[in-house]
Amino acid sequence: MKRAALLALLLPAPAMAEPLTVVLDWFVNPDHGPIIVAERQGWFAEAGLEVEIVAPADPADPPKMAASGQADLAVTYQPQLYLQHAEGLPLKRVGTLVESPLYCVMAKADGPVQGLADLKGRKVGFSVAGIEEALLHTMLRTNGVEPAEVEFVNVNFALTPALASGQADAVAGAFRNFELHQIAAAGSEGRCFLPEENGVPSYEELIYVANPDRMDREKVVAFLKVTERAAGFIADHPEEAWEIFRGWSAEVDDDLNAAAWGDTLPHFAAHPMALDADRYAAFGRYMAEVGLIPAAPEVAEVAMDLSAPAD
């Protein structure tokens, strides 16, 4: 046996690098386009990263997993970040996936609700109290309607069926890139009323959060640079990117996701590490004003700009 081969047998094998674990907010869908395209194109591997993408069993778990170190990154919602901070979770926003709201209040385009003021005396379906409820109340009051003048119906996440069947005159918490296509498939045209056009400060729908005391900054920065590359590729080659994305699994390769893909693309963060501190401060003040948190945190308490030099 040659000496080099003998040494190779005697020397211990090099330790495998720990994967970067990213827990999504929910099952894989077009909202996660840059992550999935980057993985399928092998761009994480090119950057020296092994990325483990996890869809959670419970959408409440990802932030807790990132806080405890069970995951390196979690995908969550900017509004939820302020609640997580108020609860004492040691998390900070380190990057952005979807940089603008997707939430909307949806009504039938040919129905009686042609504006939010028309909801006075009518039924609104909802699924989740808390933040979604606060957004809806702000939107109503901006249009001269007090929440007490509206009947709220818990439709248990069946937003589109509730609207299509007439159980509700409008539904709150619809995602403008999905539910509009769902109701079209049910034979009706929907219209979305947007929070950022009705009194709610604009916010980032999906963000990456990490425990700053546990995270590997170099790995996280590398991950965000790769997703920036993927977001740019998707913007420049949307149809090719869809073909790549749909190959992830049979579950994502359907007509609803294909329709949602085109509506989701404009919302991906072109520069995931970039932090708009004024926007975060404004939304923190809003969360305090509507009583969801005791006081607005300093931006540095809830968000990091990884494009800036490390302290």
For 98-135, write each residue's pLDDT tens digit. Answer: 999 999 999 999 999 999 999 999 999 998 889 999 99
| Identity of the residue numbered 105 | V
Q: Is the pLDDT of residue 8 over 70?
A: no
Residues 188 and 213 in one domain: no
For the purposes of burial, counting CB atoms within 10 Å of the CB of 258, is it exposed (0-12), middle (13-18) or buried (19 or more)?
A: middle
Distance CA(214)–CA(24), nearest Å, equals 19
Mean per-residue pLDDT, 138-166: 96
| Identity of the residue numbered 244 | I
Taking the chain, what is the end-to-end CA distance rounded to the nearest angstrom?
A: 52
How many Cα neighbours within 13 Å face the side chain of 111?
24
Please enumerate in sequence order all residues whose Cβ is within 8 A of that of 36, keeping only pairs 6 or more positions apart, or say none: 28, 53, 244, 245, 248
CATH code, domain with 133: 3.40.190.10
Find how far residue 192's CA is from the centre of its chain.
18
Domain that holds residue 77: 20-100+204-301
pLDDT at residue 17 in the model: 63
Number of domains in the chain: 2
Distance CA(289)–CA(104), nearest Å, equals 21
- pLDDT-based confidence at residue 1 (cuts at 50, 70, 90): very low
pLDDT at residue 311 in the model: 66
Residues 150 and 297 in one domain: no
Give 181-210 pLDDT, tens digit per residue.
Answer: 999 999 999 999 999 999 999 999 999 999
Picking from 181, 197, 213, the residue at the C-terminal end of a domain is 197
Picking from 146, 162, 197, the residue at the C-terminal end of a domain is 197
Distance CA(151)–CA(147), nearest Å, equals 8
Residues 212 and 79 in one domain: yes
Mean per-residue pLDDT, 167-181: 96
pTM (two decimals): 0.92
Q: Which of 145, 142, 242 is nearest to 196 (CA)?
A: 142
Beta-bridged to residue 170, according to DSSP, are: 107, 124
Q: Which of 242, 278, 247, 281 is nearest to 259 (CA)?
A: 242
8 Å CB contact between 49 and 219? yes
pLDDT at residue 7 in the model: 41
